[in-house]
Amino acid sequence: MDLSGLKVPAVDDEADARDLIKRVLGYCDAQVLTAGTAAEALAIVERERPHVLVSDIGMQQVDGFELLRRVRLMGEGRGGKVPALALTAFACSEDRTHALRAGFLVHVSKPVEPSKLVATVASVTGRSGEQLVTVLRRVSRALAWPLLWTEQRLARRFRD
């Protein structure tokens, strides 16, 4: 899947998670702009007018729900209507419902599979087609070892 031309802020207070998103979507030629805080994300949204926002829910200082609320308050002219994707370790049905009611279009559970992340961003932005399966396989193969390491690290973090 060619995601070239898409601007995608990846917001997470964990550097490893931001790097993973950047690597996966960057492999498909998306322009991934990383932010570790809500303030950084708001500046990116206003400056870049992205095509989709990928945000963690469980951030320490300002969570993803508050971030999305602040983005929406910016209004359409400043990027406030950007479609938003919730990326979170909170994976039960109540968490999904809460995210959707808060205004996220999609709720994706961590650890995220590269193919699912690419497919979700492609779907939300209207980029789909027959190439998708081929690219998803290529992404999965190319990133298999780094992703396995990252998934194991994230699993340990949430287990402790």
Q: Per-residue confidence at 133, pLDDT binned at 50, 70, 90? A: low
Whether the predicted pLDDT of 130 surpasses 50: no
7-159 folds as Rossmann fold (3.40.50)
Taking residues 144-152, report their average pLDDT: 51
pLDDT of residue 2: 84
pLDDT of residue 10: 97
Domain assignments of the chain as residue spans, ordered by start: 7-159
Virtual CA dihedral for 57, 18, 152, 60, nearest 10 degrees? -40
**pLDDT, tens digit (0-9, with 9 covering 90-100), for 81-110:** 999 999 988 778 888 899 999 999 999 998
**pLDDT, tens digit (0-9, with 9 covering 90-100), for 12-30:** 999 999 999 999 999 999 9
DSSP string, the chain: ---TT-EEEEE-S-HHHHHHHHHHHHHTT-EEEEESSHHHHHHHHHHH--S-EEEES--SSS-HHHHHHHHHHT-GGGTTT--EEEEES--SHHHHHHHHHHT-SEEEESSPPHHHHHHHHHHHTT--STHHHHHHHHHHHHTHHHHHHHHHHHHHHHH-
pLDDT of residue 129: 54
